[in-house]
A and B are shown apart, each in its own frame.
Chain A
Amino acid sequence: MIWDQIWMVIWTLLKIVAIVLPLIIVVAYLTYAERRVIGFMQGRMGPNRVGLFGFKLWGLAQPFADTVKLLLKEIIFPANANKFLFLMAPVITLATAFAAWAVVPFADGLVLADINAGLVYILAMTSLGVYGVIIAGWASNSKYALLGALRSAAQIVSYEIAMGFALVGVLIAAGSLNLTTIVHAQSGGIFSWFFIPLLPLFVIYFISGVAETNRAPFDVAEGESEIVAGFHVEYSGAAFALFFLGEYANMIMISSLTAIMFMGGWYSPFSGDSWIAQPSILWFFMKTGFFLLLYLWFRATFPRYRYDQIMRLGWKIFIPICIAWIMVVATVKVYRPDWIGG
């Protein structure tokens, strides 16, 4: 009786470790991939020197070298900074970035917590990430950090609305808030995936996701040429590493959510009975990887938006399109329920 409960707690902890540990390794190699891919796109080499045991290995040990460097550096506190909040901010960023993974289904049944209101949980957790940014900006006692935090907070709150509306379209189409059910509603080949009937929402969701994670071309919160590095300008060492980890974990999160909501999650694009048409976790990873590549591609090719243009795009273009398309989806769902989501 009591051992059952203890075992359940240990089993859940093991499952959490099985999600978080690979996630951290993926984050490490995402930073490596980012530098190599952008290097390739811009005709440079990227990091290709750091290897193991005297072999260069195309620089594959670079992320570990970076991690060790960041962990060994001193954490410097600015004068008159609020120490407690200064250290809490990166923890909040990281915790919210990891917490959202609890409800992400990697394959059929492969999910830590298969809760009814999974979509709302995801929205709630991703909306909390902004606190790390705001608190970091305020606790640093620095003008640049505060300006970056204000920019970032306004941007995240604005794009969250467009993001939420895009997901409303998904939940109307799937008829459920549960992520596994949403993927099940997209079974049956590439033409059943939601990105076709919800194309505007799909595009809006991913672009808002890029804006929400403060990535190029929406990275005014850390615009180097204007406010140095924005909200984390005063951070160094391990505290900075946590911000970094949180930002990249959020990127992977948005990519995997786009794969789940619009690209059929673990389903194969092919239909039929052959081996290639079987649903598999590999499809999920491939789709997530594709969106991560898009993130890097954006960063390599787009110049930074101006701040008022960002706000205009979010409020005056995305939100009206979202509302209009939700009407369309709802109408179709009522009068032709077999057109979307089986």
Chain B
Amino acid sequence: MIEYLISAEFYQIMLFWLYSTILIGAALAVVTMRNSIYSALFLILCFFSAAALWMLLEAEFLALTLVLVYVGAVMVLFLFVIMMLDIKIKPKSGMSNYTKVGLLVALLMGIEMVMLLGKKLVGVLPQDDLVKHVQGHSNVKEVATSLYMKYTLPFELASVVLLVAIIAAILLTLRRRDDYNIVNPESQVHVKAKDRMRVVKMDAERGNYIGGEE
């Protein structure tokens, strides 16, 4: 018993339960918080806990990428937008119609997932054994092999689709306005000192100092 309590497996399982509890708690807080800033911050906590779970799966590259992309970039922009908005903290109220519809959808989705997992995937799901790779196993290499050797074409296609989406999004929001004066940065950068000012060379003059010897 004491052997099990000090074993690495035990701590791994404990960590799994800890992080999944935080993950589910934070996910609930995202939808129940009445202040949207708190919701966003709890969403960050969600991503963090999910990254920690991936760490436990020994997928350190994916976990760090999750933190880098979602926490480091996407959520920053989210917070950015939320802070610019005029936030009104909703007063406590009873169950609104949205909540009722939401609960119905959640219930349906829950039933669907139970049906799928319980019926079809029960033999495929891993039991309670932990993921363990041999010493020197590189998750980075594994990701690279599947992305750039196994699934090269789909991966490249997906990136092209994303690029098109980025360009489309930029074009949708890009508009030229004629009603304000914008200075072309090119002309600003290329400005020379002699365009703006004239240096005058002149001899020093003798001034008349009041009340003193020179």
Name A's B-contacting residues (CB within 8 A). Answer: 1-2, 5, 85, 115-117, 120-121, 123-124, 127-128, 130-131, 134-135, 137-138, 146, 149-150, 153-154, 156-157, 160, 177, 308-309, 312
- The CA of A138 and the CA of B35, in the complex, are separated in Å by 13
Q: State whether A120 touches B83 (Cβ < 8 A).
A: no
Q: State whether A2 touches B6 (Cβ < 8 A).
A: yes
Of the listed residues B3, B76, B139, B188, the one surrounded by the most CB atoms of chain A closer than 10 A to its CB is: B76
For B79, the chain A residues whose CB sits under 8 A away are 131, 134, 138, 153
Task: Knowing A1-B6, A5-B6 are in contact, say whether A117-B61 is a contact too (CB < 8 A).
Answer: yes
Q: State whether B6 touches A115 (Cβ < 8 A).
A: no
For A150, the chain B residues whose CB sits under 8 A away are 80, 83-84
- Decide if B165 is an interface residue (CB 8 Å cutoff): no
Q: State whether B64 touches A124 (Cβ < 8 A).
A: yes
Nearest chain A CB to B73's CB is how many angstroms away?
6
- Decide if B140 is an interface residue (CB 8 Å cutoff): yes
Chain A, residue nearest B80 (CB): A153
Q: State whether B76 touches A309 (Cβ < 8 A).
A: no
- The CA of A134 and the CA of B77, in the complex, are separated in Å by 11
Task: Knowing A116-B140, A134-B83, A154-B80 are in contact, say whether A127-B73 is a contact too (CB < 8 A).
Answer: yes
- Decide if B56 is an interface residue (CB 8 Å cutoff): no
Task: Knowing A115-B60, A117-B139, A128-B71 are in contact, say whether A134-B6 is a contact too (CB < 8 A).
Answer: no
Nearest chain A CB to B11's CB is how many angstroms away?
9
- Decide if B185 is an interface residue (CB 8 Å cutoff): yes
Q: State whether B185 touches A312 (Cβ < 8 A).
A: yes
- The CA of A332 and the CA of B163, in the complex, are separated in Å by 26
Name B's A-contacting residues (CB within 8 A). Answer: 3, 6, 37, 41, 44, 60-61, 64-65, 67-68, 71-73, 76-77, 79-80, 83-84, 138-140, 185, 188
Q: List 24 A-B contacts (CB under 8 A).
A: A85-B41, A116-B139, A117-B61, A120-B65, A120-B68, A123-B68, A123-B72, A124-B64, A124-B65, A124-B71, A127-B68, A127-B72, A130-B72, A134-B79, A135-B41, A137-B83, A150-B83, A153-B76, A154-B80, A157-B73, A157-B77, A160-B72, A160-B73, A309-B188
Q: State whether B71 touches A138 (Cβ < 8 A).
A: no
Nearest chain B CB to A148's CB is how many angstroms away?
12
- Please name the 3 residue pairs, one residue from A and one from B, whose CB atoms are nearest each other, closest first: A127-B72, A124-B68, A120-B64
Chain B, residue nearest A82 (CB): B37
